Amino acid sequence: MINSKTKIIGLIGSPIEHSISPIIHNKIYELEKENMVYLAFNIKTNELESFIKSAKTLGIHGFNITMPHKKSIIPYIDEFVGNHKSINTVKIENGLLIGTSTDAYGFSYLLKKNNINIKNKNVIILGTGGASNIIANNIKNECSLTVVGRDKDLLINMSKNFECEQSLFSDIDKIKNIDILINATPLGMHGISENFENFNFLKNINSDGVVIDTIYNPIKTQLILEASKLNIQTCNGLDMLLGQAFKSHNFWFLKELESNVIESVQNAVISYYTK
């Protein structure tokens, strides 16, 4: 029951309507009997500073961050936990913003949950944004990595930072022998009108390859649907989101969730999508 002692945790981003994070976290609070409520706030780029001031004034305990604020939040962070170039989780203590990222953990959780082994594989990451940088940093030492994007300067930077190959999106059809393809762009996301121009590059994925789309809404993006037509194993971003959420909860409350709670939350999310 919400009362005068209820603490607020939230999510900021824009667009935000697609997010199921409130379902995940409020289910955790229900199971853990925490007097918390998790809300989603549609905060545009020019509203970020105002939100931070309001969050401190209102005593908001913490919040997650999604596009387009994962990098723009950095100047407002007073203390960092970990060496991150983008931030997706913040807690507020004594008026100070303490920031971290749970993205890398979320991606590792996805790989483990779906029994995907990237060791010594030819891996392609689509995108040069925050998510692609975090994933690339997480897997760079285990596989042969190529990053694909549209911005040549960003590709060059990623290539230097992660000592990996690079390719413009226009040349993606030239990349052969793909074991794992990871979409870390917003292409195909609910609320985003832009999508892939074509899916010819899927023909270059090996017969035992995997397509991972970090998008979770819709649960089956056009990329996943097209890959499935070619009998390619697919995986959406739902498990990555769950892993991020569990790690965020630990960051806010310094408390690991029990396996039965994790299972119940996963079941609640699956029920949400199948109802």
Would you name the residues annotated as active-site residues?
70
SS3 135: helix
Any residues with CB less than 8 A from the CB of 200 and at least 6 apart, and which? 173
Alpha helices in the chain (DSSP H): 21-32, 48-58, 103-113, 130-139, 152-162, 222-229, 238-253, 259-274
Cβ proximity of 210 and 233 under 8 Å: yes
Any residues with CB less than 8 A from the CB of 157 and at least 6 apart, and which? none
Owner of token pair 């991020």:
244
Round to whole Å and give the CA distance between 68 and 228: 30
Cβ proximity of 171 and 153 under 8 Å: no
Rounded alpha-carbon distances, angstroms, from residue 105 to 89, 134, 135, 139:
12, 10, 10, 11
Strands (DSSP E) contained in 54-204 are 62-65, 79-80, 89-93, 96-100, 122-126, 144-149, 165-168, 178-183
